Every structure is written in C-alpha cells, then in structure tokens.
C-alpha cells in the first residue's frame, strides 16, 4: 500500500510564506516525477509545479519566481516553498507522484488528500 500525505497548509497574509511537504510511504520500489496541483473553489484542478527524479523543476507561469519545488529522495518527500503569496493562490493543494510499488512491474499515479492554503488579510 502506497500513501502520500501532505502537510504545511494554513492561513497566511498576502506577501507571506508557507512550506508544503508531501511524504510518500509504503512498499515503494521507486518514485519518478512528483508534483503539486491546486484546486480553487469553482475551478478545475491545475498543475502548479513538477520535479523529476533528477530534481529538474517545472512551474506554471503564475508561480514562477515565487514558488520553489524540491525533493529529498532519501526521505521520499517533496516540498513546495511558497513565497510572496497572493489571495489568488488560495486553494486546496494536492501532491501527486508517479510511484512503482514493490509488488508491481509498472508505476502508477498517486494523490494525497490535499491541504488547504488560504491567503487573506
């Protein structure tokens, strides 16, 4: 059983910072790409940032220069450092990872349960 657990969400004022964590656990053979998505009320889920197994990042234009994605392969954990937060960053943030379980010949996409980020004064 593979599980992704996010943490680090909360309420922050505009211009503030938060750091999200996504820890993968269970019977894992390997983890490929990891990423963060977000879904605001009434909107579709959108990609925020991804990072390859070799730690090459990619960002949606709206967060470039403000957000930084990183990962610690030894801990099976990805991070999203969010700076200069804006009210429009308010959303539920979801972690996604492409993971090959120990018992499977293929990798699958897994989702975390989501963590709420609210940017408001």
Confidence of residue 25 (pLDDT cuts 50, 70, 90): very high
In terms of phi and psi (left: phi > 0; alpha: psi -120 to 50; beta: otherwise), the region of 88 is alpha
Distance CA(93)–CA(75), nearest Å, equals 20
Residue 101 burial class via C-beta count within 10 angstroms: exposed 0-12, middle 13-18, buried 19 and up? middle
From the list 51, 59, 67, 77, the residue with the least C-alpha distance to 18 is: 67
Q: Which pLDDT belongs to residue 72?
A: 97
From the list 65, 73, 85, the residue with the least C-alpha distance to 19 is: 85
**pLDDT tens readout for residues 88-108:** 999 999 999 999 999 999 999
Confidence of residue 43 (pLDDT cuts 50, 70, 90): very high
Distance CA(65)–CA(51), nearest Å, equals 16
Q: Which pLDDT belongs to residue 60?
A: 97
**pLDDT tens readout for residues 50-90:** 999 999 999 999 999 999 999 999 999 999 999 999 999 99
């Amino acid at each position: 059983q593979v599980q992704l657990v996010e943490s680090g969400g909360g309420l922050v004022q505009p211009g503030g910072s938060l750091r999200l964590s996504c820890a993968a656990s269970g019977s894992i053979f390997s983890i490929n790409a990891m990423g963060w998505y977000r879904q605001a009320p009434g909107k579709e889920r959108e990609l925020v940032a991804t990072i390859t197994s070799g730690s090459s990042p990619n960002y949606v234009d709206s967060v470039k220069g403000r957000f930084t994605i990183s990962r610690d392969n030894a801990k099976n954990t990805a991070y999203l450092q969010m700076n200069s937060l804006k009210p429009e960053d308010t959303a539920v943030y979801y972690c996604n990872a492409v993971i090959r379980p120990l018992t499977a010949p293929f990798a699958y996409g897994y989702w975390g349960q989501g963590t709420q980020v609210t940017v408001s004064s």
